[in-house]
Copies of this chain bind each other. A is one copy, B any other.
């Protein structure tokens, strides 16, 4: 676990969400003032230096550049990210999914707080594919994780709220890298459990957790197809009060199912745990699972291997996205596709014929 600059971080920053860098370091204050006063004085080198020493304000600023729709910002963001690359990759990347109502925020708050108290620097990110449409956003409500948000070791960032689906995924992935460069030891990426974001998150994390409720069968009906098969750990949440016995039974049921399915990670037996965030029970077990997973995967070399595979597939997915985006960037093309689609459904043309027509110059 890389947590070298943990202590200095505790001194140099207090709040995560408010964007105020409350450092006692006079030099940093001066720099910030200069930045606020004249934006033109932005310095890539300064931002980079501050970022890798763990400055929250510069991290937030870098993420804003990553999320910007302005081409010039994007170019600067990529230059910054490139400089930061050697400092990335040292964290544990965790994905968390689950249907609405399962208590994801409460779990992340409790789990994240525990990790922060253990001395780890924890960054919480989110992917919400609906946010780019509605402007709403996972983790968008700052008050949702008040306790975690005020911990000096925590950094919380809501889902990017603009761009294509692929764009939202890319931004979250690059934000994760920036957080790593800023010295965060554990990255938690939350997804709302709709759309194709689970696959995207699975493809950017080391360990994927699924939050579920008691009554495995009923609960699963609302889950996405195939989600159990990408899951390293199913957490049966709200295992408290009258619910405890049922939760334990559900854990057993999930264990049985997981035993029958192919493992999400080769060499790892996916399992299930009962957790209560209300009663603060079980989060240490989750962390134990993650650590044991990491140890095993590093020994088998799959840790690095998967990350390499993820990087490659990310590259190829982005090429594909770009090709489709460019193709449909001509408004005429979209119209033509729609009209050909109708012709196909009417039986007026074969699919192959339609594709040939679409690509004839």
Contacts and interface: CB of A to CB of B under 8 A. Distances in A.
Contacts of A315: 337, 340-341, 344, 351, 354-355
A22 to B, nearest CB: 31
Interface string A68-112: 000000100010011001101000000000000000000000000
A354 to B, nearest CB: 6
Contacts of A356: 78
A135 interface: no
A195 to B, nearest CB: 16
A260 B225 contact: no
A203 to B, nearest CB: 12
A337 B324 contact: no
A335 interface: no
A281 interface: no
Interface in A145-188: 170, 174
A349 B347 CA distance: 48
Interface in A233-265: 253, 257, 259-262
Contacts of A318: 351-352, 355
A44 interface: no
Contact of A323 (B327, B349, B350): B327
A229 to B, nearest CB: 5
A320 B322 contact: no
A20 interface: no
B319 A320 contact: no
A358 B321 CA distance: 13
A216 interface: yes
A144 interface: no
8 contacts: A257-B257, A311-B344, A311-B345, A315-B340, A315-B354, A315-B355, A318-B352, A322-B355
Pairs of residues from A and B, 3 with the lowest C-beta to C-beta distance, nearest first = A323-B323, A226-B226, A85-B347
